[in-house]
Chains A and B, each alone.
Chain A
Amino acid sequence: MTERARRVLDSAKAPDARRRRGNSVAQAGRDAAFQLEACVHCGQCADACHFHRVTGEPRYTPIYKLRPMLKAYQREAAPFSSAKKALGFAPPEVTIEELHAWSELLYDSCNLCGRCTLVCPMGIDIAGLVRRAREGMAAGGFAPPDLVKAAQRALDTGSPIGVRWPALKRQIELQEKETGLRVPVDVEGAEYMVVLTSIEIMGFPEAIGALARIFRHAGATWTIPSAGFEATNVGVQMGSREVAAALLSRIVEAAERLKVKCVISPECGHAYSALRWEGPNLLGRRYGFEVVQIAELLDRFVREGRLRLRGKDARRLTFHDPCQLVRRGGITEAPRRLMDGVSANSVEMPGSGAASFCCGGGGGVSAIHRAEGLRFAAFECKKQQVEATGAEALVTACGNCRNVLEEAIEHYDMTLPVLGLTELVAQYLDNDGR
């Protein structure tokens, strides 16, 4: 599977508009077609998109980002397309220049956050269609070079930033020393297998110690696999089904090798989306295990009485909704219940949940260097939501959001710590009698 993914990446090095078109048309199944056909060009999605809001640029209108996909669909697959082509009414073929131009629109200026999907009166899942359009772009060789390089690194090393097992092992050892607890590795038959993101491993390794404390407290058996530990899936972000499937298969193989009942998706929005919702479809088979996001698991433990909390953070805290967990992933209440459990002064941002703004780095944007300026500009919308709360600290359940938020906060000279929800919960465990 990895070799196939490498071949696909290599073949995409030379941009090819026809390969992209063929892929786009093939991806336009029934549901996508109903949505592509229903647009009335009302422009409401523009107001939902933070990239449009901060720049005022009409080309950042979400539905406009789908124009090459729509043209390819209308020319090749839509009803009446043959007749329209014969009569000369079909749209012209998408050119290589258009695709180069749209690479910025489909990648740099879209976080796949799904605000546009919620606002569309026609019910078009614009974010979902952008995700599909990226598949055509990746197949044609129009994905941003940074994402392609990250995909190559992920195939070669297991991680988009080159984090290999020895690096994780070192971090585990440090956390074991810090907590005095053992972090189980490659334990066959454990209830839970935890996968991590490179951002967590290198940037927030205390999350590993927090997990050790939580699982010990809950009395649950768990393990981290030494192979297949990376949850980040750059294949999903860039739109390469082959790369995505190759990376996912490593996690699935680890889970099957270790015969675990449940795989815990870490604090990462898109990793959850990749593993929970896209994985079985990319691999073409159902899993033999359950996939649960860490916030869901913690909430489940608390409600079952397996995790007892004591004390609360007195600061004014607000929760940043990771788009792929909350708006797109259905995990809305669990993090809020956890926040209420550990915070004495938790406040919601305006528009929290449905209308929460993305941190600006989702959908692979944080990995695209050329998009950095635009990402910081887009953060202005999130900044306003955060500032309206008067919060003293920001909490989130996604390592990528956390990283991006910290960078943006520094960029805007704000002083606001960003906390991980798992670590916050671990901090308030009631260890009496345990």
Chain B
Amino acid sequence: MTAVEILQFARGPALGASLAVLVAGSLWRVLGILRLGSTPDLSEPRSSRLLAGAMRGIFARMLPRKEFRHGRDFGIWNAYAYHVGLAVIVFGYLPHIHFVERLTGLAWPALPEPVVYLSVGLTFVSLFIALMERLTDPVRRLLSGFDDYFSWFVVVLPLATGMIAIHQSYAPGAAPAPPLDPLPVALHLLSAELLFLWLPFGKLAHAFLVFASRGVTGAALARKGAIL
């Protein structure tokens, strides 16, 4: 298989299959939870504004409560660093926007390349710090298993392959023209596809489960008028 054929495979059947698994697996996971059902709460609610409670639950937990800003502070801020860094890279880098545009027709203005490159470096360092903390902190080490380490790996891999592919030149615009050296881009795409394949099955699914978890707790606590 030549490098061009690998790229064609990555852009064609591998991409289609991984996206199908991503969507179907995520839906299956959510529906599999929904099918467990719930029983109605018969206690008299203190507040019936459950949707507002759910929304408050979702947004209020985006920042730690001030009373709890101590202890694992560095780990908390480091988690913000790599989440924001990944968002900048995924949504702010022009080739990624072209990639999404080819798939969906949606596009938006890109961030300046130096900003993205800085994000790549910081995110890479931040993810390694996160791994070191997971390996050295007794609590996190106790809680961690295969899912934690493999999920870290499938996030770092596209970042690493992306760094290799970063200086590939493309024809301008969203046209899927092959780069001068197709192999780095092919590997980058394949590593991203590995992430798509794993996301619905492991802890990376917190990308969507977090809203449900925060929402149900927010609604339940709001029902009691309890502290959110």
Contact = CB atoms under 8 A, between A and B. Distances in A.
Contact of B216 (A31, A47, A77): A31
Given A80-B28, A355-B67, A326 B227 contact: yes
A77 B36 contact: yes
Given A41-B144, A117-B217, A281-B43, A33 B68 contact: no
Contacts of B213: 34-35, 37-38, 122-124
A45 to B, nearest CB: 9
B29 A79 contact: yes
A33 B57 CA distance: 17
A15 interface: no
A28 B36 contact: yes
Contacts of A353: 227
Interface stretch (B85-93, B102-110, B160-168, B202-210): B202-210
Interface of A is mostly: loop
B98 to A, nearest CB: 31
A34 B214 CA distance: 9
Centre residue among B29, B46, B71, B76 by max chain A CB count within 10 A: B71
Contacts of B75: 42-44
A123 B214 contact: yes
Interface stretch (B119-127, B133-141, B181-189): B133-141
B140 A47 contact: no
B140 to A, nearest CB: 5
Nearest to B32: A79
A347 interface: no
Interface of B is mostly: helix
Contact of A47 (B29, B43, B68, B226): B68
B37 interface: yes
B209 A30 contact: no
B176 interface: no
B42 A122 contact: no
Nearest to B147: A41
B143 A354 contact: no
B215 A58 contact: no
A10 interface: no
Interface in A113-141: 117-125, 128
A285 interface: yes
A265 to B, nearest CB: 13
27 contacts: A29-B36, A29-B39, A31-B220, A38-B209, A41-B144, A42-B76, A42-B140, A43-B137, A44-B71, A58-B141, A61-B143, A63-B143, A79-B31, A79-B33, A117-B217, A119-B65, A122-B209, A123-B61, A123-B215, A125-B221, A277-B224, A280-B42, A280-B43, A328-B226, A329-B224, A330-B227, A355-B67
Given A31-B216, A119-B68, A123-B210, 12 more contacts: A29-B37, A30-B33, A34-B212, A41-B203, A42-B79, A42-B140, A44-B76, A80-B28, A80-B201, A125-B220, A329-B226, A330-B225
Interface of B: 28-29, 31-34, 36-39, 41-44, 46, 57-58, 61, 64-65, 67-68, 70-72, 75-76, 79, 134, 137-144, 148, 201, 203, 205-206, 209-210, 212-218, 220-221, 224-227
Interface of A: 28-31, 33-35, 37-44, 46-48, 52, 58-59, 61, 63-64, 77-80, 117-125, 128, 276-281, 284-287, 290-291, 326-332, 351, 353-355
